[in-house]
Amino acid sequence: MKKTLVFFGAAIAMVAASQVPARAGAQTAQQQGAAQTQPPPAPPAGGRQAGPPSMGGGTCVIDPQPSAPARGNPYNCPDTPNPLPKVDTVWLEEMTWMDVRDAMKAGKTTVIISTGGMEPNGPWLALGKHNYVLRANCDAIARKLGDALCAPIVPFVPEGRHEPPSGHMTTPGTISLTEETYAALLGDIVTSYKVGGFKNIIMIGDSGGNGRGMTAVATKFTELWKGDPFVAHVPEHYTYSVVSKEMASRGLIKEGTSDQLHDDPIISLNMFMADPKSIRFDERVKAGKASINGVSIADRKKNLEMGRAIVDFRANYTAEAIKKAMAANKK
């Protein structure tokens, strides 16, 4: 019995001894993990800065040392001067991060989020009709405001039910979002621009079904952020009756004449200003089909004149509405 007890006690001692380094090793690993989550120490004078602040998609480095291995680049530092001249665009997707930074420092702290669509528009117009319109119009609106930039156009919006198909979803090529997906997409875009430091976030649309989601998102974030930044849906860009009345006085609308297509001379010429190919201009002229609702659009020179008038009118009308909305928010 004594021998058994001695053997059993020795076994326990051996197991306990074997566990001590394992527990010690676990503690060491935990300590190492904690150490890795701590911010790196501040670099010595003239040395490298491996942590924030960093921008541009890489690591900022201050006063790089030729003898040390490369770990960053000064072009990733927030205050590094832009090495290139100022770019002449209002489209964020066409700008570098330094272009955007410098534009915002110069006072361009308003961003316009425009929503278009992918839907059928008769035999002549590209499915992205509303996106082409916005390509011309957002550019003009931002330049008239003087302190605004354009977000990439949101090309996907609610167009009808998927199953069973309804609305424009009965036509191939259409893309439709649910209202929930649409609102979530807009919400993430709006939030991104808040994080980016924009002071006014304006939404405009160019299709009838786009407004509900934009209004809902604007209401949500106005309540959440109390107007800082200011978020608004400005519906005046798609107050189409106002545009039609103005353009009727210029001969672009003939009462009682309609081809019964999802198209009209105003939309066609608005698209023409972004890209004549979007309305199949050359092909239509050649085929003798360059007219819509009794109005000829075969004259390229006249198209440019009327197209500029359409874009200018819609841009002025929308810019004034945006100014009024932002002024009301400041009261």
Residue type, position 65, single letter: Q
pTM: 0.82
Asked whether 156 and 175 are in contact (CB, 8 A), the reply is yes
Asked whether 157 and 209 are in contact (CB, 8 A), the reply is yes
Each residue's pLDDT, cut to its tens digit, for the chain (331 residues) gives 444 433 334 443 443 444 444 444 444 444 444 444 444 444 434 344 444 589 999 989 866 666 666 678 899 999 999 999 999 999 999 999 999 999 999 999 999 999 999 999 999 999 999 999 999 999 999 999 999 999 999 999 999 999 999 999 999 999 999 999 999 999 999 999 999 999 999 999 999 889 999 999 999 999 999 999 999 999 999 998 999 999 999 889 888 889 999 999 999 999 999 999 999 999 999 999 999 999 999 999 999 999 999 999 999 999 999 999 999 998 8
Spatial separation of the C-alpha atoms in residues 117 and 130, rounded to whole Å: 6
Spatial separation of the C-alpha atoms in residues 101 and 196, rounded to whole Å: 10
